[in-house]
Amino acid sequence: MSRFTNRLWLLSVFVLIRLMNVAAWADEPAAITAALKNKVISNGGYDSLTAKAKTNGSVRILVKLGIKFQPQGSLSKLDASPLKKAILTAQDKLLGRLTTISYYKYKYIPYIAMTLNSAALNSTLSAPEVESVVEDEVSPPSAVNWNISATGASTVWQYGYDGSGYAVAILDTGVDKTHPMLSAKVIAEACYSTNDSSSYASSLCPNAVTDLTTSGAAMPYAGNCPTGLCDHGTSVAGFAAGKNTGEASGVAKGAAIIAMQVFTRFDYGCATSNPCLLAYNSDIIKGLERVYELSAAYPIAAVNISTAGGHFAANCDTGYGAIKAMVDTLRSVGIATVSASGNHGYIDGISGPACISTVVSVGGTTNVDTVAYFSNSASFLNILAPAYEISGPVSNGRYKAWNGTSMASPHVTGAWAVLKQARPAASVSDILYALVSTGVSVSDYRNGIYKPRLNLSSALQKLAGTLVYYMPYFTTDTAAPTYCWVTNKSASSVAASIQIMSGSSTTVPTQLPLSKTISLAAKTSKMITFSGTTITGGDTSIDISSEIGSVGGTAYSADITFTSGMAINCSQLDMSCFLGTTSPKRNLVGYTCYDGSYRNY
């Protein structure tokens, strides 16, 4: 062997050794310590995951990266872009070290969905970028018109609030947009489903693809769904936002629908009979991520997830960390995530993802306002809604009666769209408080826990029954009165209470409201005149001399609070003010209306 050949042989051996070292890192580190095993936070821990990987040849996981996370909606554009870049960089760095069967990189949260073997699982746990790993679990679907009457939806429709102008997203088994109850209501579609032969799982999307966002993507039987198994999502969409066909109606009958199919077909290993439908958490997250992207184009009030898996006696934020990250991202732009508590009859816990602290969890009631025997219940459940013998749309223009918290959840989702229409600036916390604080109190006979049952009309009044006009300048000079022409466009009468705030020469504390109010009937107009120390409106006259004396000076400001029996906003109560008695009159400027957001005049 020549010296050159010898050197070439040694170099080849060196390269081979280096490649073997790389392969060892990519496939199996020397040892998995207890600390690395503890990165697995799903039930059964590391031993369960690695056993499944070895038995089935692979395991599906959700990997959390160690990046400081904030929901995109809470960041400025300047800060949001670097976070997305940091997530992508960390994802690519980790994937560059691994041999995976498949993966999906989420755009807005520091997670990756992976399918890999036991060796790659060990390498993943050993990577410094990885904070935790959880199994990508599956959950089943959680399974007129007393319900509409009970929730108060028909009452609020009379006042013009039916969810119009807003959309609700339905993450389920698809939505039959050809049904008369749902025709012309679906404005966007998507399908996220899984092909995994080792789990006997196959995609329900058209043409068996795993990701699709084109028209028809969420039609329930466009893929290989067995007859009857994909009706669930169509009914859920109908309960939330279906048209009032006379046979059934959605709570937000005027709202649009974003339809997303997130389930997968399983031909073996089902809890009951084969085949069955289950939803991977990774596909649910893809749906939530798509909702966030669509929020730039559509005003979305809420997302409904009527799946339920597991039994949790307390919030499950750690185990459902990836879903929570997307829930919080949606919440940061004002979109609620609503989920069914589950139908296992638990009296000391609820299922996931409803168990997440920032998800609105919904249990079910019967038509006599008792908690349904099948409804999961716990002290940290948020709210109850109708869930017993609810008629909803199914394929081929038919209707079917359903029982289950899957039916309760979309009632609350629809209510969210109605309340957002009434008070667009209301946050998720604002609306949740209005719903919980005004609901009909119902005791669960099984555990003695009281929870509020949805009462939409009361929540509407609680959330949006007042608005305030902040008026910067009035004068006590009778030669220069101010005239305010007020038009009540709403379907409810209002009462104006006036509060003198300050004078021109001194700074004083806020004054008490005047004892008299000026009323204004629905669909009418009235002139309110501020002249000297008198305010008049129709037959009502209010003397403000004592209040003007207390603030001092010849000029003052005031707040005018309009209170209604139902929701009201600035566009429904229009006020135009002008100064003086001579022509041309001068319009008053600089005043503001506040109904949750500010409107300046």
Active site residues: 172, 232, 406
Q: What distance in Å separates the CA atoms of residue 124 and residue 490, rounded to the nearest whole number?
A: 60
Give residue 134's identity as a one-letter amino acid code: V
| Maximum alpha-carbon separation in the chain | 117
Cα distances from 435 to residues 154, 326, 463, 564, in angstroms, run 16, 23, 9, 18
Q: By C-alpha distance, which of 181, 168, 161 is closest to 249?
A: 181
The answer to whether 284 touches 305, Cβ cutoff 8 Å, is: yes
For the CA atoms of the chain, what is the radius of gyration? 30
317 and 284 Cβ atoms separated by less than 8 Å: no
CA distances from 111 to 54, 119, 178 (A): 24, 20, 36
Q: How far is CA 220 from CA 138, 162, 305, 307, in A?
A: 19, 26, 16, 16
Q: Which two tokens stand for residue 7?
A: 């050197």
CA distance 350 to 359: 12
Enter the DSSP assignment of 347.
S
Cα–Cα distance, 8 to 399 (Å, whole number): 77
Q: Which of 228, 243, 279 is nearest to 400 (CA)?
A: 228
Measure Cα distances from 574 to 181, 390, 421, 560, 592 in Å: 35, 41, 18, 13, 11
Cα separation, 178 vs 188, in Å, equals 14
CA distance 509 to 60: 63
The answer to whether residues 386 and 410 touch, using CB atoms and an 8 Å cutoff, is: no
- Angle between helix axes 3-27 and 118-126 (nearest 10 degrees) is 90
- Dihedrals phi, psi of 67, to nearest 5 degrees: -120, 135
In DSSP notation, 440-473 reads: EEEE-TTT--EEEE--HHHHHHHHHSEEEEEEEE
Q: Taking Cα atoms as reference points, which of 520, 559, 557, 524 lies closest to residue 537?
A: 520
Cα 588 from Cα 579, distance rounded (Å):
6
Residue of 520, 517, 542 lying closest to 529 (CA atoms): 542
Please report, for residues 45, 89, 110, 112, 155, the alpha-carbon distance to residue 66 in angstroms, rounded to integers and kept in the order given: 19, 12, 8, 12, 49
Q: Are 203 and 223 in contact (CB under 8 A)?
A: yes
Distance separating alpha carbons of residues 353 and 323, to the nearest angstrom:
8
